[in-house]
Amino acid sequence: MADDYDDEFDKCGILDHSLSRLSLQVLGDHWGYGYDSLLIDLERWAQSPYVRLDSLGTSVQGRTLWEMTITGPDSTTTGIKPVVYVHARTHPNEVQAWWVTREMIKILLSQSSLGRHLRDNLIFHIIPMYNPDGVELEYPRQNANYVDIESNWYSTVLEPEVQVLRNRFVELMNSETPVDVALNMHSSISGTRFFVCHDQAGTSPLYFDFEKRYIGEVRSFYPHGIEPWYYSVTWTAGTPLRYPESWWWLNHHEDVMALTYEDNNSMLASAFDTTAAALLNGSYEYIYGHPVSIDGFKVGTTPREARLIGSYPNPFNRSTKIQIDLQIPGTLEMNVYNLRGERVTSFRQDYAEPGLYQLSWQALDAAGQTLPSGMYICRLLHNSRPKDALKLLLLK
C-alpha cells in the first residue's frame, strides 16, 4: 500500500488563486452561494414530506453540518432500499458541483415520474455543504484551520468535519441500510465532466471493473457530456492514504462504489440539470440494471432480467446455496471472486429458461481443500452482461 503523494495528480486541478478570486468577483460573495443561502433552501426543502433534515455535527467554527435524507414514503420494492450517499462543497470554490447536486435534490423532490421512481426505490443521503466555514471565509479549498478536508482523511489528528463524516459512514455501514454508492462532488479546473477512476493497483481488478460499469451507466445518459472512465485513472501506485474514497476502499472494498465526480470549475460550466439526471439515473442503473423510458428519462421499472435473490447459509462453513431469479432466457454465468479479484469458481449455462435456480457452491480449491476464510463476491452475468453481485462470507 503506497502513500505516494507525488505520484498523485491533484484531481481538482492545480489551484489558481487569481482565477478563484476572479470567479468570486463574477459570481458574488461565497462564489454565489453561502451558508445563509443554504439555510434558506433547507428551510424550503424541509417542507417536503420526502425530506428528513439532520445535524451530523459541527464545523471548526460551530456551523451545522446538515444532512438531507430523501426517500419515498413507501415503495414498490419490498424490504430495504439501496442507499446513495452524496457530499458536496468540500472545496468551497467548486460551486459548479454544488449546482449539479442542487439539481439532483430538485429532481428527487419533484413530482416527476423520475423523482417518484428514484425516491421509491432508493434512499439518498445528501450533505449539501460539507465545508461551511471555508465557504464563509471564502477559502477556495480549506476549512477554518486552513486544512484541505478532502485529502486529509488519514492525518494523525483529524479535522472535525472529517471525523463527523467518518462517524456517519461507520454508523450507516453498521445499520440495516448500508451505503451502496458514495459520490464526492467536486469541480476541476482541468477538465469537462469526469469521474476519478481508481486503478486496480490501488483497488482490485473486480472493483476496477465495477467502476467502469458505474461510469458507463452514468455516461449512457449523457454520452457527449461526461468523459469515459479512462479520462482520469489514479492510484496506479497503490492506495493513497488521503481521500474519503481511500477510507471506503480500505474498509468496505467492493461493497461500496465510492467515486469523486468532477464538474467543470469555470464560467463555462453548464447543463447542471442534465448532469444531475445522468448521475441519478446512472446510480439507479448500476444498482438495479435494466433501462426503459418514461417521460423522456431512462429509468428502470421492469424487473431485472436476472438477479441473485440470496444465499443460504451466509455466513457459511463449507458450502452455500445461491438462488437466482431469471426473467428472460439466455446465457447464465456465475463467478465467485476473492477480495484480490481472483476468480475461485465459475458456472456457465449457455441457455437457461426463465425461472428460479439454485446453485450449490462448495468452497474448495483445485486440490479439494476448503478455501481460506473471508469475504467472497458472487457475480451474476446474463448474456455476458454483469447483472448482480452478492457477498458470501466463509467462516471455517
Toward Zn ion, which CB reaches closer, 184 or 281?
A: 184
Interface residues with Zn ion (CB under 5 A)? 12, 91, 94, 186
In the complex, the smallest distance separating the C-beta of residue 150 from Zn ion, rounded to whole angstroms, is 6
C-alpha cell recorded at residue 114: 423520475
Toward Zn ion, which CB reaches closer, 154 or 347?
A: 154
C-alpha cell recorded at residue 206: 473486480
In the complex, the smallest distance separating the C-beta of residue 91 from Zn ion, rounded to whole angstroms, is 3
User: Who contacts 35 (Cβ-Cβ below 8 Å, separation ≥6)?
Assistant: 63, 129, 132, 135, 136
240/153 Cα distance (integer angstroms): 10
**What phi and psi values does residue 2 have, to the nearest 5 degrees?**
-95, 155
In the complex, the smallest distance separating the C-beta of residue 288 from Zn ion, rounded to whole angstroms, is 29
Toward Zn ion, which CB reaches closer, 10 or 54?
A: 10
Q: Where would I find the H helices in the chain?
A: 17-27, 35-45, 95-109, 113-121, 132-137, 160-173, 205-219, 244-252, 272-288
CA distance readout (Å), 185 to 165, 188, 275, 303:
14, 10, 12, 30
- CA nearest 357: which of 341, 378, 375, 371? 378
The amino acid at 378: C
In the complex, the smallest distance separating the C-beta of residue 366 from Zn ion, rounded to whole angstroms, is 47
Toward Zn ion, which CB reaches closer, 97 or 122?
A: 97
In the complex, the smallest distance separating the C-beta of residue 186 from Zn ion, rounded to whole angstroms, is 3
Q: Where would I find the H helices in 193-308?
A: 205-219, 244-252, 272-288
Q: Residue with C-alpha cell 463527523? A: 164
334/349 Cα distance (integer angstroms): 9
In the complex, the smallest distance separating the C-beta of residue 235 from Zn ion, rounded to whole angstroms, is 17
